Amino acid sequence: MSDRFLVKIIPPHGNSVYRLEVARRHLYAVFGIVAVVVFVVLSIAVRDVHHLRVVADEQRHQLAEVDQQAKSLDRTLHHIQRQNAEIRRIIGLTPAGQPVSVQAAPRQLSYRGGFETVQMRLAALDRLAGSVGADNRLLRAQALRAAAAREAQAQARARAIAAIPSLMPVDGPIVSGFGYRTYPDREFHDGLDIAANYGTPVEAAADGYVASAGWDGGYGIKVDVDHGNGYHTWYAHLEKTLVRAGQMVKRGEVVGLVGATGFATGPHLHYQLMLDGRAVNPTPFLHGAPQNVIASIK
């Protein structure tokens, strides 16, 4: 058996014949080289395909995690938005716009987008989380301002209530009430006469300032406290005053001592309540401010 191969090449239109003589070993060598090249190329291709599959699996896993993050953040966002809406309702702020879904932007993206898709989904989550944080910070600032305003309003209301006459200025029985009477004179009595011993402390019925303190004709020694809301309280027939005009007084502070000065038949306190310059019955104000008066305070 010959160890050489003869290859003849005959062109279709020509008189020449080409002869190519190849040794068997050379032909085997060529086949071997081709086989090695094919093997190497296939090995590289298989490795690349495996690598791409691993990368694809990793990206699918990452996208699945992002989806879970989106769902979790979406639930958190809606919970925060409900809380914010409730806070706005409580403190009287204008409602915010429609809630934004965290999943809206990420779900428009495909798993086929690769790592860039993952980055876009994460960036969308980050932006939406940032918007929630910004809304929370804004709402917190608004809530603090509203709370401060409510606190100021509550303090103002407390001051207004403290300025409403609401206590018995001296301990003792009421010996002459508000209205018409026949003793000691037939007249309309503009206040209450409360019996008490000489020198018994007389307390201011509410917060205010002393409009006047001194002698006032038939009232004898009298203290007039202006409560700044249309109410004045008069404490008359005192033995002496313990305050001066212009002085601020608190509810329960002693303003004078019981006496019998002026037109008085014995030691007692004439307690008179004035509203906008007109005498009103002090009796409903002796043991706390009337509820209808408190309710009228805004």
Number of domains in the chain: 2
pLDDT band at 152 (very low <50, low <70, confident <90, very high): confident
Q: Residue 193 in contact with residue 182, Cβ under 8 Å?
A: no
Confidence tier at 216 by pLDDT (50, 70, 90): very high
Q: Are residues 127 and 218 in the same domain?
A: no
Q: Which domain holds residue 130?
A: 44-162
Q: Are residues 81 and 120 in the same domain?
A: yes
Mean pLDDT of the chain: 82
Q: What average pLDDT does this structure show over 29-47?
A: 85
CA-derived radius of gyration, the chain: 50
Strands (DSSP E) contained in the chain are: 4-9, 18-23, 174-176, 179-181, 187-189, 192-195, 201-203, 208-215, 221-226, 231-241, 248-249, 254-258, 268-275, 278-280
Would the pTM of this model clear 0.75, i.e. be above it? no
Q: Pick from 107, 129, 162: which residue ends a domain? A: 162
Report the C-alpha gap between 83 and 103 in whole angstroms: 20
Q: How far apart are CA 143 and CA 136, in angstroms?
A: 10
Q: What is the mean pLDDT of residues 81-91?
A: 73
User: In this structure, is residue 271 part of a structural domain?
Assistant: yes
pLDDT at 240: 96
Please tell me which residue, 207 or 132, carries the higher pLDDT value. Answer: 207
106 inside domain: yes
Is the same domain home to 192 and 145? no
The verdict on 288 and 182 lying in the same domain is: yes
pLDDT in tens, 183-204: 777 788 999 999 999 999 999 9
Banded pLDDT at 107 (limits 50, 70, 90):
very low
pLDDT, position 50? 82
Same domain, yes or no: 88 and 184: no
- Please say which residue of 162, 183, 217 terminates a domain: 162
CB 236 within 8 A of CB 222: yes
For residue 101, pLDDT beyond 60: no
Check residue 122 and give its pLDDT: 67
